[in-house]
Chain A
Amino acid sequence: MNLLNHLRRLGSFFLGDPARRFASASAVLTLSLAIVLSSEFVNDWHSYQRQFLKLVRTRPDAAALERRFERGIHQIWIPEQGIVDRCTTCHLGLKEVALADVREQPFRPHPTIPHSLTEFGCVTCHRGQGAATTVEEAHASTKAWEQPLLPAKYLESSCGQCHLGPLEGTPKLNLGRRLLARYGCARCHSIPQPDGTAVVPADDPPPLRHIAEKTSREWLFAWVKNPQAYAATSTMPNLQLNDQQASDVASFLMAQSTPSGSAPAGDALEPTLLPVTIDASSSGKEEGASLYGSSFCATCHAAQNAAGNVVGGDLGPELTGIGGKVDAEWLRLWLKNPQAYDPRTRMPHYRFDDRQIALLSSYLLSKKGEGLLANVHLPTADAASVARGKNLVVEYGCAACHQINGVNAPQTFAPDLSRIGSKALAQIVFAPQMEKTLPDYISQKIRDPRSFGHGLKMPKYNFTNTQIEALTTALLAQTGRAWNEPKNLVRLAPRRSDYHPGGEGGRLIEDLRCQSCHAINGSGGGMAPDLTTEGSAVQRAWLEEFMRNPGTLRPALIRRMPKFNLTPGEIKTVADYMISAYQSPGFDPHTLDPHALTGDAAVRGKDLFYLKYACQSCHIADYNKDKGYVGPSLTAVGHRRPAVWIYNWLKNPQAVRPGTMMPNMRLSDNEARDLTAFLMTLTARENGAAQ
């Protein structure tokens, strides 16, 4: 019997007549249904739950763990917020503290976080598809759900969806938000926030209305071509213009410049002891450098030191190459009164006399930097070049940051970024050869904006990888979730105000630009102490003395308040204003009886200071013995702080200044009074001699 006959017999057995055919078809159908229905049990989560049981049974606490385990699909369901997260079906160890030593996924327990796991589900922070029970659909970007799991390095962005202000525990997010403000992203991109405010730029692009007085066309060309070649810490990005374009822009900027009026007509500088020209002698330079140091310019300005490191603050521009940039006369007028050139500058009006101005300017003009302009030879600036330059300035949106004559600040120049963190993949045009995910899109945009196509205008910043990661984190936090969440779940950023002091004292405070460094009533910088309640925090005599001669309060800090050479009248006006206006209601003078601060109390206080509470571990009371550099030096606190302030501070430091490092020592009223009495006896002067 050959094969064909076998097949024929088989065929007729199964399919010979209709009844057999019916039977065969029914059998196959039943079998198919059985197979298909039982394939239910071969899916992802079943196998993970079996694996989990196997793992659990190898452990010593197996019985308890097994008792707590439930077979089947688990979910975190919060209907009010539309959250259905089934991640815990496979991630079975999330809430099991007993599994703390397990490292492999998906059974690793969740790291400790400030929220409970069931408060917001999983997807709120980790993204991905919560409703899914298969690995691929839950984690990856699929046709049905394009938002994949958020990579762990960007996880802090999810905190930022609801926490709109700085947050302890999210350093990357905080850094990213600071960078967003500092590099002026918000000048082109509007980033409105749910509380009605928007991200406020924290950089300080100078106005260009009178630029021809300040610098040369050659310098403008070199700057526009590559700002970081002039100043490595500059926040201005590189517009990636070619030579022709940069030359045109420089021509236009010089052409649009008008006189600033900073040099009042006929009011020449008085003759000085030193020649007004640059003094190349070493003693002149040394004195200039020393004046630069004692004026604490480095508090705000960075410059490259002899060792080649750029040191100093970032409130003002880097001065490494200032000598190769600015016109000498301009510099002198600037140092005399910065606000005459730029009314909105953050630089205070130092009261330098002409000799000091000459010293400082010759010192600064000697800082030539790299010699950028050596090879710059520009063609003459004709009208065509100026016209082209104006077109370029309009096209590239320079007026979004800088004030320029004849060019208005553009509106909606760049896309709104308030919901960039939830941008749909289908709406993104990716650059060639890149990973097609949202975080990659954002970081590539920041890293190399023009790689996405031709004709794009976004300039190139030279961020480090850390900065790009931080910025991407901050931008991923802009999901618009805060707009849709119930208000009680959103933590708003601290409100900024635009408080400015008034009156004669206010005018002086403005002139001295105190708010560049100090915040007062929610408005101002964060570099120096908040002065909102300074009136009740210091003694008037001390305040006047400090303004006359700012000293060292915290030995560990390198920044210092500059000396402004104020007249006694000016000092009195400012002190009057601060003492009366900047009072805090919590320091009722009647809380402390001044007669209770006796000598006996001071003796008891000294024992408390040194023996019971060991305050010398952080503070210096006697500069000979004590070495505590954590808190401010207390050698002169008896001159500085009012007794009632000290008393209230000792009772509860956090109430006076929230976030201070000083612990609450839980003093009794008597102890606080005795300590206050002791501290009020500390009235040393700078050289340590007692009053």
Chain B
Amino acid sequence: MIPLSRWQEEFKEIFSARVRERQLGFRHTWYLGSLTLGAFTIQLITGILLMLYYHPSVPQAYADMKDLQFVVSSGMLLRSLHRWSAHAMVFLVFVHMAKVFYRGAYRPPREFNWMFGLGLLQLTLLLSYTGYLLPWDQLSYWGTTVGSNILSSIPFIGDKLRFILLGGHSVNANFLLRFYVLHTVILPVAVIGLVAVHIWRLHRDGGMYSAREAHEPAATTPPSDSPAAQGNERTLPYWELLFREVIAIQVLAVILVWIALHWHAPLGQLADPTHTPNPSKAPWYFTGLQELFHYFPPFVAGIILPGLIMTALVAVPFFNVNIKGESLWARNKLRRLLAAGVVVLALTGFLVFFHAWVPLVPVWIVGGFLVLSAASSSRQSRTSPSWLGSRPLSFWIMTWFLAEAITLTAVGTLFRGPGWSWVWPWRS
């Protein structure tokens, strides 16, 4: 007989009864993880309600969108809420990732959880991408066509992968059905599973990360309800944290509901395989990538660069570099400044070679701030440098990556017109 008590440790970890007081405050995590989960929950509820009306067939899918908008009671609300909370979820998951990174909460023993987080990032983007096709309007159709064509740029297996994705040789009804199954079954189940592991792991790794842990590298942080942890500081019942997170989710829900009331989810013309709109833009979270396509060959922009980014993100916690998060300029300042200069120039040369002017801008902006931080770090004494001067290398790399992502996405969404030519958005 195997008693249930065998799982006692795990049970206590998941439903650990106590949290540290210092981790309850808003400023630590901005409750971003739970906000993302809240957005996901809204998606689940609205999504299931939408499934009652939606047929994943062509052209009935588009007609169902119309029915939802015009006939179904609160159908427009459902659609809008589903759409805006999808955008919110993607946005929140990026900000959550950035916040976790900037806090250093990927450091051991949390590297495993960091990877699950990255997996959830991928799943969120995939969920959004698969959902984007379902209305079957011009934007959906051509936006996803762009994505499926990127896949075929992979050497050797690209076309086969595309065939698997499409369920055929072209974007058609099979594709819609496949994406519908992905969007409503496979990906949500995967997300729920990963979220469960993510949260369990979080508890197992000691709850919210705090900067103090960085300076106690010797101790692997004990579970929060262990006597060792409790001995250090005040702990509170778990529902204190839960309550605060629920309030955050409620505020998110109110905001999203009011946005959904005021701005309706857009719908374009029925998808027309014979007529490509110009320009055909991917969803906003992919327009940055689409902008990269303007400069680099498809294989580089679609496979190599995103691959490099993902690899870097995954590898970051395993390098154990600078665990203490000490400032970049703490040692070897001149040498490091020189190295930074070389890197900036190399990047500049690389981008100029490809005529990639837009990605060049964040390089120089962030590079400029880097040099400024070097200057400011010497103005004060070494013991109390300015905030910027005391940032570690990881900060600069992540900041540069985020600056690039924001710039490319903004340009791709707002400043590109027919033929991917430059347009000023205030001039129609």
Contact = CB atoms under 8 A, between A and B. Distances in A.
Contacts of B251: 25
Q: Is the interface of B mostly helix, strand, loop or mixed?
A: helix
Q: Quick one: which of B77, B240, B267, B269 has the most chain A CB within 10 A?
A: B269
B277 A36 contact: no
Interface string A629-664: 000000000000000000000000000000000000
Contacts of A204: none
Contacts of A18: 240, 243-244, 247
A19 interface: yes
A131 B66 contact: yes
B70 A25 contact: no
Contacts of A37: 74, 77
Interface in A84-131: 84, 86, 131
B243 A19 contact: yes
B71 A25 contact: no
A63 interface: no
Interface string A143-175: 111100000000000000000000000000000
B232 interface: no
B63 interface: yes
A33 B74 CA distance: 11
Q: Quick one: which of A28, A32, A40 has the most chain B CB within 10 A?
A: A32
B104 to A, nearest CB: 28
B67 interface: yes
A137 interface: yes
Contact of B70 (A19, A28, A39, A132): A132
B261 A144 contact: no
A21 interface: yes
Interface string A1-34: 0000000000000000011011001101100110
A429 to B, nearest CB: 12
Contacts of A40: 73-74
B428 to A, nearest CB: 13
Interface string B239-277: 010011011001101100110110000111100100101
B137 interface: yes
A361 interface: no
B254 A25 contact: yes
A144 B244 CA distance: 41
A240 interface: no
A132 B250 CA distance: 33
A144 B137 contact: yes
A21 B247 contact: yes
Contacts of B70: 73, 86, 131-134, 137
A29 B253 contact: yes
Interface in B255-313: 257-258, 260-261, 266-269, 272, 275, 277
B257 A33 contact: yes
A424 B73 CA distance: 31
A426 B277 CA distance: 8
Contacts of B253: 29
A22 B247 CA distance: 5
B254 A144 contact: no
A425 to B, nearest CB: 9
Contacts of A25: 247, 250-251, 254
B127 to A, nearest CB: 24
Contacts of A143: 266-269
A133 B71 contact: yes
A427 interface: yes
Contacts of A137: 69-70
Given A36-B261, A86-B71, A426-B269, 14 more contacts: A22-B243, A22-B246, A25-B251, A29-B250, A29-B253, A29-B254, A39-B261, A40-B73, A73-B70, A131-B63, A132-B66, A137-B69, A144-B266, A424-B275
